C-alpha cells in the first residue's frame, strides 16, 4: 500500500459489504424507500453515498438481476417518480448490448492499453505512477484515487471528474485510465467501463466530451470532500480544454449471438458453470434442471492479465462462493470452486471427476470471461463435451435495441417495460433466502 493510503485515515463506506445475494437484497430493501428522491439527489457526492443505491457491484455480478430491481421499485412508485433511477439500471443493459454488437471495441481497447504503456515517455510514466498512487498534488483527485483503491467504489460523478482530469488536464491516454478503473472498481464490467471512458474522451459520441469544472465540483461535492481543495483552481470554468481525437474508428454492428432463452433437459449428465457475469444460476431458465454438479473457477492468470486488484479478486471470489452455495442448495448437488493459475485444469478435472456430458452456462458477455471461451471450447470439444450457452430474456429483449444512443434505446425499453408490467410478466420471485 502506498504511503498516501496509509496516512489517509479514510472513513468511507466499503462497497465490498455486498458479497452475497442476501447482502444485496438487504441493500435493495433499504434503498426502495429512498428511490423517489434519487433524481434530485443522485449528483451529490459525499462520504457515505447515501443518496444513491450502491447496488452497482451486485448488478455487475448479477447477485441481483436488473429485472428484480426494476420490479421492486416500480412496485412501490409510478414510473414518472423513479424514471431516472430506472434509466440508470437500464444504462448497464444498454452499454452491454452496444458492446455485444461491436466486440472489436474491447479487443482494440486491450491492444491500445498495452501500446499506450509501451509508448509512454519516461516523464509520462512517472506522472502516471504518481497519479495512480494518489500523488497528483490535486487534493480532490487524490481523495478520489484513495477512495477507489481503498473501497473499490466511486460515485458516478466522481468517475466523470476523475476521467476528465486524466484525459483533458493531464493529456494522458484514456485507455490507461480505463484500465486503472477496471482494476479497482468492484462494479466494473467491460462494456460500461470502456464505453464510459470513451464517452468522456470524445471517442464514443464523436465531437462530444466531458470537461471537469470547478463550479461543478463546488456545487455537488460535500464539505468533507471540498476541504481537499489543493489545486482546484486548475479546474476553473473555461480553463480545461477538450483534447478531441482527430478521427474515431467506426465500428460496424455485428449480429448479436442467438442464444436460447429456454433450456430443455436433454437427459445428459449436466454440469452448470457459474462465472462472474451472472451469479444467479438458480433463478431463471436453469432453475428447473437437475445438474450433477455446479462449479466456478478462479484464474490467477486472468487476474494478472487485467491487473485486477486484490480487493477486486477477493470480491469476485466471495460472490462466486455465495453463488455456488445457493446453487448447490437449490439443485441439491455438489459444488466445486476451482482456484488455480489457469482455470482450464480445474474445468477439465471437474468434468472428468463428475463424468459430466454437457456443460451449461449463461453466455458470457464481451470481457474477461468471454476472452477465455475459445480455448475452453476447444478443450471441451477434444473430450466431446459440448458447452451450451443460454441468455436471459431480459438481455435477449434489450441488447438488440442498443443500436444508437441511449435515449432512442430508452424509448423502446420504456415501452417494453410498460407492456411487461401491465401484463404481469415482471414476476420474478423476490426471495429473502436463496
Domain layout of the chain by residue ranges: 3-101+396-423, 109-235, 270-390
Looking at 1.20.120, 1.10.3470, 1.10.760, 1.25.40, the CATH number of the domain 3-101+396-423 comes to: 1.25.40
Please tell me the CATH code under which domain 270-390 is placed: 3.40.50.620
Identify the pLDDT of residue 182.
98
Q: What is the pLDDT of residues 4-51, one digit of tens each?
A: 333 233 333 444 578 999 999 999 999 999 999 999 999 999 988 988
Higher pLDDT, residue 60 or 3: 60
DSSP 45: B
Fold of 109-235: DNA Cyclobutane Dipyrimidine Photolyase, subunit A; domain 3 (1.10.579)
Instruction: Report helix, strand or coil for 359.
Output: strand
Edge-to-edge strand ranges of the sheet holding 335-340: 335-340, 293-299, 270-273, 358-362, 387-390
Q: Give the three cell numbers for residue 398.
A: 434489450
pLDDT band at 2 (very low <50, low <70, confident <90, very high): very low
Check whether 337 has a pLDDT greater than 60: yes
Q: Give the three cell numbers for residue 96.
A: 452491454
| Backbone φ/ψ region at 238: left (φ over 0), alpha (ψ -120 to 50), beta | left
Average pLDDT, stretch 371-381?
90
* 3-101+396-423 shares its CATH topology with 109-235: no
Which of 48-62, 349-363, 415-429 is least confident? 415-429
Q: Give the three cell numbers for residue 284.
A: 431463471
Mean confidence (pLDDT) of the chain:
91
Q: What is the pLDDT of residues 88-135, one digit of tens each?
A: 999 999 999 999 999 999 999 999 999 999 999 999 999 999 999 999
Q: How far apart are CA 415 and CA 413, in angstroms?
A: 5
Amino acid at each position: 500500500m502506498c504511503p498516501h493510503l496509509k496516512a489517509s485515515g479514510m472513513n468511507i463506506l466499503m462497497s465490498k459489504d455486498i458479497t452475497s445475494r442476501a447482502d444485496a437484497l438487504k441493500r435493495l430493501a433499504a434503498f426502495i424507500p429512498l428511490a423517489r428522491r434519487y433524481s434530485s439527489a443522485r449528483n451529490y457526492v459525499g462520504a457515505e453515498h447515501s443518496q444513491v443505491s450502491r447496488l452497482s457491484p451486485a448488478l455487475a455480478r448479477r447477485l441481483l438481476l436488473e429485472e428484480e430491481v426494476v420490479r421492486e421499485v416500480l412496485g412501490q412508485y409510478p414510473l414518472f417518480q423513479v424514471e431516472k433511477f430506472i434509466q440508470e439500471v437500464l444504462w448497464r443493459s444498454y452499454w452491454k448490448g452496444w458492446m455485444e454488437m461491436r466486440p472489436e471495441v474491447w479487443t482494440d481497447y486491450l491492444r491500445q492499453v498495452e501500446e499506450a504503456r509501451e509508448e509512454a515517455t519516461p516523464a509520462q510514466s512517472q506522472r502516471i505512477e504518481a497519479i495512480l498512487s494518489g500523488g497528483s498534488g490535486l487534493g480532490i483527485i487524490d481523495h478520489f484515487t484513495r477512495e477507489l483503491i481503498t473501497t473499490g467504489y466511486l460515485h458516478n460523478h466522481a468517475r466523470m471528474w476523475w476521467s476528465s482530469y486524466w484525459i483533458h488536464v493531464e493529456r494522458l491516454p484514456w485507455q490507461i485510465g480505463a484500465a486503472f478503473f477496471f482494476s479497482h472498481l468492484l462494479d466494473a464490467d467491460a462494456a460500461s467501463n470502456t464505453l464510459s471512458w470513451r464517452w468522456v474522451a470524445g471517442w464514443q459520441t464523436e465531437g462530444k466530451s466531458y470537461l471537469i469544472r470547478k463550479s461543478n465540483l463546488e456545487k455537488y461535492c460535500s464539505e468533507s470532500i471540498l476541504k481537499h481543495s489543493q489545486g482546484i483552481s486548475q479546474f476553473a470554468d473555461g480553463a480545461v480544454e477538450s483534447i478531441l481525437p482527430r478521427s474515431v474508428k467506426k465500428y460496424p454492428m455485428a449480429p448479436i449471438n442467438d442464444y436460447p432463452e429456454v433450456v430443455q433437459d436433454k437427459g445428459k449428465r449436466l454440469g452448470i458453470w457459474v462465472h462472474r457475469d451472472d451469479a444467479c444460476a438458480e433463478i431463471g431458465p436453469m432453475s428447473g434442471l437437475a445438474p450433477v454438479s455446479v462449479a466456478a473457477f478462479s484464474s490467477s492468470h486472468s487476474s494478472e492479465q487485467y491487473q485486477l486488484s486484490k480487493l477486486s479478486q477477493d470480491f469476485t471470489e466471495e460472490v462466486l462462493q455465495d453463488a455456488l452455495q445457493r446453487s448447490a442448495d437449490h439443485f441439491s448437488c455438489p459444488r466445486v470452486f476451482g482456484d488455480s493459475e489457469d482455470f482450464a485444469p480445474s474445468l477439465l478435472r471437474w468434468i472428468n471427476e463428475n463424468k459430466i456430458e454437457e456443460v451449461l452456462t449463461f453466455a458470457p458477455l464481451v470481457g474477461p470471461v468471454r476472452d477465455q471461451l475459445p480455448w475452453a471450447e476447444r478443450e471441451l470439444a477434444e473430450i466431446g463435451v459440448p458447452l451450451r450457452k443460454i441468455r436471459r430474456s431480459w438481455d435477449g429483449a434489450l441488447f438488440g435495441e442498443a443500436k444508437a444512443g441511449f435515449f432512442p434505446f430508452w424509448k423502446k425499453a420504456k415501452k417494453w417495460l410498460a407492456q411487461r408490467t401491465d401484463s404481469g410478466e415482471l414476476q420474478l420471485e423476490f426471495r429473502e433466502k436463496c
